[in-house]
Amino acid sequence: MWFTSDNAGPAHPSVMEALTRANADYAGSYGADAIMDGVRAKIRNLFEAPDAAVYLVATGTAANALSLACLCPPWATIYCHRNSHIEEDECAAPEFYTGGAKLTLLDGGHARIEPRSFEDALSFTARAGVHNVQKGALSLTNSTEAGAVYSLDQIRALTDIAKAHGLPVHLDGARFSNAVAALGCTPAEMTWKAGVDIVCFGGTKNGLMGVEAVVIFDAKLAWEFELRRKRGGHLFSKHRYLSAQMEAYLDGDLWREMALHANAMATRLSEGLLAKGADLQHPTEANAVFAAWSRDGHRAVQAAGGQYYFWPFNQSLDGPGDEKLSARLVCSWCTTEEDVDGFLNCL
């Protein structure tokens, strides 16, 4: 009953088999391996983007920070939600890799940026010319840090505003697959067709050992990304082991299958919690559930081995039994119905 995060589970067996296959022979280094040639072709095909540049890195933080550095100069600002991962969970890596760009924090329910908040911030930026930070880039996250999903129209509404101001758009897709699976759309529809310029196509949270693909639709940025990746220490020499994981992910659309399963488990958990009298803090639209239930219920489920985080963290099992405490529960490709039902049966 592990619901701490979707990175807490094991990697999918197909991924480990692909690693073992990749380990059988010599291969070109630094991304010049034959497996990567296949990955590049498959990702271009999947995203319907024959000219896209495709790179692999091992963490989402590197993927985001290197991408944003290609989009935003040091004297500009990145517009993002105030609960976004780049703001709350990356130890200022975006600021560091951009060489000091600011983040401008925007509002909106369920970690989705409200277009009005973006427009207000834009109208306030660079109002005194050279004295202010300039407009840099827009960064979105889908699915969001609150387990919600931007619809294609909601993405378009934001990217239209960005384009009207000449700003490029980055999509943090640590849970890209969960969002695509939830929307039932294609990867192209959720990215370049909706105005996204760079996407971090996450793998680690969805069954890989540690790989994220950065897909750059404007190939003019490709060389800069390569230089930044090397300079930042994120170019792997034994790159074939990253390629092999991504190959397994793409093969037979394993990424989609795993995401559909994770989302289905979250729906089951969410509905079960509601039936037990819990309140939801955010709608369950992808693979994460944000719910509040009684402290006595938390005691019971934790005594039975349930693993998850209080959300926010600063809550405790000490106190009145009927008081409600809120938690985050994240499902993954390997969450089982037994895990979910076992958890619910404790309540």
Judged by CB, which is closer to ligand PLP: 5, or 134? 5
CB of residue 59 to ligand PLP, shortest distance in Å: 4
Residue pointed to by tokens 């934790």: 302
Q: Taking the mean position of all CA atoms in its chain, how far away is CA 162?
A: 21
Among 4, 59, 134, 281, binds ligand PLP (CB under 6 A): 59
> H helices within 198-335, ranges in order?
222-231, 240-250, 254-275, 295-303
The amino acid sitting at 324 is K
State which of residues 40, 85, 239, 256 lies at the interface with ligand PLP (CB under 6 A). Answer: 85
Among 95, 145, 197, 247, binds ligand PLP (CB under 6 A): 145
Binding of residue 242 to ligand PLP (CB under 6 A)? no
Distances (CA, A) of 118 to 48, 114, 193: 29, 7, 21
Asked if 240 touches ligand PLP (CB under 6 A), the answer is no
Of the listed pieces 30-38, 53-61, 162-170, 326-334, which binds ligand PLP according to CB under 6 A? Answer: 53-61
In the numeric block, the tokens 């827009």 are attached to: 138
Among 83, 141, 284, 294, binds ligand PLP (CB under 6 A): 141
Member of 172, 197, 247, 339 binding ligand PLP (CB under 6 A): 172
Q: Which residue is nearest to ligand PLP (CB)?
A: 60
Of these, 81, 135, 193, 205, which contacts ligand PLP (CB under 6 A)? 205
Nearest to 329 by CA among 109, 147, 206: 147
Task: Build a one-symbol-per-residue string for 320-339: x at contacts with ligand PLP by CB under 6 A, - elsewhere.
Answer: --------------------
Closest approach of Cβ 62 to ligand PLP, in Å? 7
* The two three-digit tokens of residue 338, written as one number: 């037994």
Considering only 204, 245, 267, 335, the residue that binds ligand PLP (CB under 6 A) is 204
Q: How far apart, in whole angstroms, are the C-alpha atoms of residue 37 and residue 114? A: 39
Q: Of 28 and 109, which CB lies nearer to ligand PLP in the complex structure?
A: 109
61 binds ligand PLP (CB under 6 A): yes
Decide whether 204 or 335 has the Cβ nearer to ligand PLP.
204
Interface segment toward ligand PLP; rule CB under 6 A; list 59-67, 162-170, 213-221, 232-240: 59-67
Greatest Cα pair distance in the chain = 62
Task: Detail the DSSP E strand segments found in the chain.
Answer: 53-57, 76-81, 102-106, 134-141, 169-173, 198-202, 212-216, 279-280, 288-294, 309-310, 324-330
Of 153, 156, 136, 174, the C-alpha closest to 255 is 174
Q: Find tokens 């306030």 and name the residue.
A: 124
Cβ nearer to ligand PLP, comparing 33 with 145: 145
Residue type, 7: N
**Structure-token pair, residue 169:** 């758009």
For ligand PLP, the binding residues (CB under 6 A) are 59-61, 64, 85, 141, 145, 172, 174, 204-205
